[in-house]
Structure 1
Amino acid sequence: MSEFAEVLEALRRVRGINSFFALDVGRPDESWLPGTALLDGPALKTTIDTIATRYRADEPRVAASLFFLGYTARLLSPLTAADLPVDVRPENLWWRHDPVNGLSVRIDQPRLGPPAAEALAPVVEAVQGVAPVASGLLWGNAMSNIAGALKMIVRAGLLTAEEAELRGARLMSAPPFELAGEFFSLPGEIAFRRRSCCLYYRVAAGGKCGDCPLVK
C-alpha cells in the first residue's frame, strides 16, 4: 500500500468515532488559511482575540490556551486513533476560525510526517509570541487531548483500556509529553491526571476539567 493510500485509509477508519476524529484532506475553498499563517502575520492574534471575546476571558493567556486546546484536539484525536504519524506540520495544514463554528483544521496532502511534538512545536512558539502562556501548560493541553482521545477510542470498542493505557504511556515516553501527567486505571476505563491546568475555570461560566490537577 502506498503512503498516500495508507494515510487515507487510517483517517477513514477512525473518522466515525466522533467529529473530533474526522480530519479532512485536500485544498479547501478561499475561506481557509494556510497553516503557515499561524506562524507569521496577524491571523493567530486575531483568532485568540476573538476567542477571548467569545468566552469573556480577560487574560490573553487563557484565550491562547483555549485556542491551542481546540487546535490539538482536532489534530491529535485522529492521529492517536490511527496510531500513525500523519503530517500535521503547519505547511501541510489549512485552518479557519469563526465565532459560530469555532476552529476547523484539515491537512493538504495525505502523507506521513515527523512525530506530533515536532509538528506542534512551531505553533507552541507562535502562541507564546502572542500571549504569555507557559509551554508546560500548552503541552499539557496536547497530552490531555491525547488522553481524551484514548478514552473515546476505548468507548468505541477499538482498544481495550489496557491497550489504550499502553499507547498513552508510549506517547508520553518522550519530551515534551513525559512531564504532562500520568495515566491511571479505572475498571474498563482509561483515566489521566495532568500536572498543569488549561485555565478554563478562569473564563466566565467556566469550570475545572475532569483531568485538572486542581480538582481534589
Structure 2
Amino acid sequence: MSEFARVLATLRQIRGLSPFFALDVGRPDDTWHDGAALSHGTALPDTLDLISARYRTRERRVAGSLFFLGYTARLLSPVVAARAVGGAVPDIRPGNLWWRYTPEGLQVRLKDPVAGVGVAESLEPVVEAVHAATSVARGLLWGNAGSSAAGALRTISRSGVDCVALADELFADPPLQGTGEFIPFPGEIAFRRRSCCLYYRLDGGGTCGDCPLSPR
C-alpha cells in the first residue's frame, strides 16, 4: 500500500471519533489560506482581530492563545489518534495545510495525504508566528498543545483503546514534556496542565477542566 493510501485509510478510520478527528484532504476554494500565511502576510493578524472581536477582548495574547488552542485541537487530535490505532500519521506542518477562520471557528485541511514528522517540527513555526504577533508566552502555547493532545487521548480512550503507554510516550520529551501531568483516575485519562490558556480573562470566561488555577 502506498503512503498516500495508508494516510487516507488512517484518516477514514479515525474521523468518526468526533469532529475534531475529521481531517479532510485537497485544495479548497479561495476562502482558505495557504499554511505559509501563518508566518507571512496579514492572514494571521487579521484572524487574531476577528477572534478579539468575537470574544470581546483587547488582550492580543488571549486571542493568540485561543487561536493556537483551536489549531492544536484540530491537528493534534488526528495525529494522536493515528498513533493510537497504529496507522500512518499525517503531515501537519504548515507547508501541507490549508486553513481559515469562520463564525464556526478555525478549520484546517491537508494539501496532500503524506506522512508527517514529530510534534515539535510540526508546530514550532506556528508557535513562533503566534508569539511574534501577540507576545503570548511560548510555554503557554506549548501548554495548549499538551492540553489538546491530552484531550485527544481522553476521547480515544473512551472508545476502548488503551492510551496509557501512548500518553507516556508523547509527553516523555519536549515540547510536550513538562506541559502538565497525568493524574491517576479510574477508567479515565485525567490531565492537569502547568500553564493557563487565559480563557478566564474573557468576560464570562472561567477556568478549564485541566487548568492549574483555582476554579473561577
* TM-score category, normalised to shorter length: over 0.9
> Which residues of structure 1 form unaligned runs of 5+?
none
- C-alpha separation in 2, matches of 1:65 and 1:182: 20
CA contact (8 A) 1:165 1:183 kept: no
CA contact (8 A) 1:85 1:115 kept: no
* SS of 2:192 mapped into structure 1: strand
> 1:43 deviation in Å?
0.6
Change (3 A) 1:152 1:21: same
What's the C-alpha RMSD, in Å, of the aligned pairs? Answer: 1.0
CA contact (8 A) 2:56 2:202 kept: yes
CA contact (8 A) 2:119 2:175 kept: no
- C-alpha separation in 2, matches of 1:44 and 1:77: 22
2:93 maps to 1:89 = yes
> 1:58 deviation in Å?
2.1
TM superposition score normalised by structure 2: 0.95
Q: What does residue 59 of structure 2 align with? A: 59
What whole-Å deviation, never above 9, does each CA across 1:79-100 have from its counterpart, x for those lacking one? 10111432111110000112x1
What whole-Å deviation, never above 9, does each CA across 1:43-82 have from its counterpart, x for those lacking one? 1011011101111122100010000000010000011011
Q: What does residue 185 of structure 2 align with? A: 186
> Which residues of structure 2 form unaligned runs of 5+?
none
TM superposition score normalised by structure 1: 0.95
Q: Name the count of aligned residue pairs.
A: 211
2:49 maps to 1:45 = no
> 1:169 deviation in Å?
1.3
- C-alpha separation in 1, matches of 2:7 and 2:130: 28
Q: What does residue 206 of structure 1 align with? A: 205
CA contact (8 A) 1:93 1:107 kept: yes
Residue among 153, 158, 167 paired with 1:155: 158
Aligned-pair identity (%): 59
